[in-house]
Structures are given as C-alpha cells and as structure tokens.
Amino acid sequence: MKVCTCLVSSIFVLMFSVYSAGAAFASDGKTEGIINCDIQNQPCVRQVAGGRITFDIRPKPVKAMADLTFEVKAEGVNLSGPPVIDLGMPGMKMGPNQVKLKMTDTGLYQGTGIIVRCPSGRTLWQATVHLPGIGDAEFVFDVVYD
C-alpha cells in the first residue's frame, strides 16, 4: 500500500509540475497556424458536397461573454435539418456549448449563442457546424476579450 501511495504521489507531483510549467508559459503563438476563419472581418466559406457553406457571427467585432447571432447559409446543398453549432476551444475541454439554428429564409439558418471567456487568456475558438445529411465543417477563429 505504501509503495502504491509513493508511486502515485510521485507521478502526481511530476504531472502537476509539468502541467504548471506548461500552463504558465503557454502561448497562443503555437496555435495561430490553425486559424482558418477571419471571422472578425468577413464571413467564412467552405466547399461541401458540391455546394458551399457560409458561416458568420455578428455583431463585429466578435466578443466573448456577449450575446451573438450565428448564421449559416447553405448554397447548392440540401440539408436534411437545421444545422447545430458546437463551440469549443481547440485542445481544451470546455463542456458542451451548442447553438441551435432555425431556418429564417431559404438556405439561411440563424441562432443566438455565447462564446465564453477562458481565464487562460487564449482567444482561439472553434465552431463545428453539424450539417445534417452532409457532415461537419470546422471554423477556427479568434475572438476579442474586453
């Protein structure tokens, strides 16, 4: 039992040390390369299933901790239902944060949601748009923290 406690405690101390060092010196610089959507300036477009999906968030600038309108426009594709957006941070589990969209016009879906602020200071967020009958489209972008 004592050996087991020693082993587990040692592993724990080692893991915590590494984690603390990593957390303290983590930088957004390592993740800047994965941004594929300039949501602060323009809607983002993906080619899917022979058509295209346009993703946008308003108002601009896109800020965390504020009510936002999410919009998905489907052109040249037939969705079997309204899209659902999963919001999260790349490489960090934040819990399920979903935005359910409703059709407001032909091929146009809108819904409201909130991007939360991470105390780590990281501003990189990912919206995974689930397109029923088609698949998923991922958009990685920066948000603004006040």
Which residue ranges make up the site for other proteins (CB under 8 A)? 2, 5-6, 8-9, 12-13, 16-17, 19-20, 23-24, 65-67, 89, 92-98, 113-114, 116-121
Q: Copy the structure tokens of residue 113.
A: 């949601």
Nearer to other proteins, 46 or 117 (CB): 117
Q: Please state the three-class secondary structure of 33-67 as a single string.
A: HHCCCCCCCCCEEEEECCEEEEEEEECCCCECCCC
- Compute the least distance from the CB of residue 37 to other proteins, in Å: 20
- Compute the least distance from the CB of residue 55 to other proteins, in Å: 20
- Compute the least distance from the CB of residue 91 to other proteins, in Å: 10
Q: Which residue, among 123, 142, 132, 111, has the nearest Cα to 49 in the 3D structure?
A: 132
